[in-house]
Amino acid sequence: MSFVMSQASLPVFEIGLNALSAVLEKAEAHAAAKKIDPSVLLNSRLSPDMFALTRQVQIASDQAKNGSARLAGVEAPHYEDNETTIDQLKARIAKTVAYLKTLDPKQIDASADREITFPLGPTNKGHMKGDDYLNHFVLPNFYFHITVAYAILRHCGIDIGKRDFLGGIPIKMT
């Protein structure tokens, strides 16, 4: 009957990121079949003042990596944000998932009452209790960016559905 913070974070990020990687792979196949330059997809956005697909993927990766590291009380590696191809974005996602596997779930479980401090824009800092930081900042931000990445590709006509978004979740269907 236990419910711990590591299970509400690490596998959630891993499944969501792997689903995002698979969706990017479908986008790549679509672009090849329709002779679309993949960079058109990577530079697509839902409104002029929202980030394009590449940046949505980078931020989703950062939310998972930095959020989990802060909860575990360790310093996350810095990624350069220099991806310009779908293959490079898939490699970034794989690197993020591999990093998550290096974290100690017990350290994340122990962070519920610890104050987490994190950058908010270039000059401000946010402060939240560990459990609030996971429930009300990292998870909503992570889901925001993977959903927008998915929605950009739906908007561009890629043939993907809700199951592609959910990914490899532990479900039994009858």
Q: 28 vs 109, which CB is nearer to a copy of itself?
A: 109
**Which helix (H) or strand (E) is 126 found in, with range?**
strand 124-129
Q: How far is the CB of 147 from a copy of itself (least distance, A)?
A: 4
31, 37 contact by CB (below 8 A): yes
Distance CA 38, CA 113 (A): 44
Cα-based angle 98, 104, 107 (whole degrees, multiple of 5): 140
- Contact footprint for a copy of itself (CB under 8 A): 1-5, 7-8, 11-12, 15-16, 46-47, 49-50, 109-110, 112-113, 120, 124-129, 131-132, 135-137, 139-141, 143-144, 147-148, 150-151, 154-155, 157, 162, 165-166, 169-174
For 124, the 3-state DSSP assignment is strand
Answer for the pair 19, 27: CB distance below 8 angstroms, yes or no.
no
Q: What is the DSSP letter of 159?
A: -
Tell me the closest approach of the beta carbon of residue 82 to a copy of itself, in angstroms: 24
Q: Which is nearer to a copy of itself, 86 or 165 (CB)?
A: 165
**For the chain, how far is it from start to end, CA to CA, in angstroms?**
25
Identity of the residue, 82 or 174, whose beta carbon is nearer to a copy of itself in the bound complex: 174
* Cβ 94 to a copy of itself shortest distance, Å: 20
Residue with smaller CB distance to a copy of itself, 95 or 154: 154
Minimal distance, residue 26 CB to a copy of itself, in Å: 15
